[in-house]
Amino acid sequence: ETGVTQTPRHLVMGMTNKKSLKCEQHLGHNAMYWYKQSAKKPLELMFVYNFKEQTENNSVPSRFSPECPNSSHLFLHLHTLQPEDSALYLCASSQDSSRANEKLFFGSGTQLSVL
């Protein structure tokens, strides 16, 4: 148990659906991250929020829309996805994303399949 909880663990959706991934951290951290891990590819950083402000958007298509209502919760809203968006989506948190010497804590991820 890392203190970072992601729901759901598995999600199957059609290309016309709208769904949301949820991440919650119980560590008192101020930074939260979304990563994407496709099969046989390295993890790709998608978004970073620090103290509820988005500090990084790594050229992610607009069909992925993040939301960070407070420091403990992070959402990834999905709409009109493509089959190539099928991947493991990982959430992470840390004390402050501006510090290079800190640790990230990851959730177990949501395995997304787009049909």
Residues in contact with other proteins by CB under 8 A are 2, 4, 33, 35, 42-45, 48, 50, 55-56, 90, 92, 97-101, 103-109
Residue 36 CB, nearest distance to other proteins (Å)? Answer: 11
Indicate the residue among 22 and 79 with the shorter CB distance to other proteins.
22
Indicate the residue among 75 and 105 with the shorter CB distance to other proteins.
105
Task: For residue 48, give both structure tokens.
Answer: 């970073």
The amino acid that residue 110 corresponds to is T
Sign of CA dihedral 95, 5, 65, 81: positive
Residue 103 CB, nearest distance to other proteins (Å)? Answer: 4
Lookup result for tokens 């009109």: 80
Sign of CA dihedral 12, 15, 20, 21: positive
Residue 9 CB, nearest distance to other proteins (Å)? Answer: 10
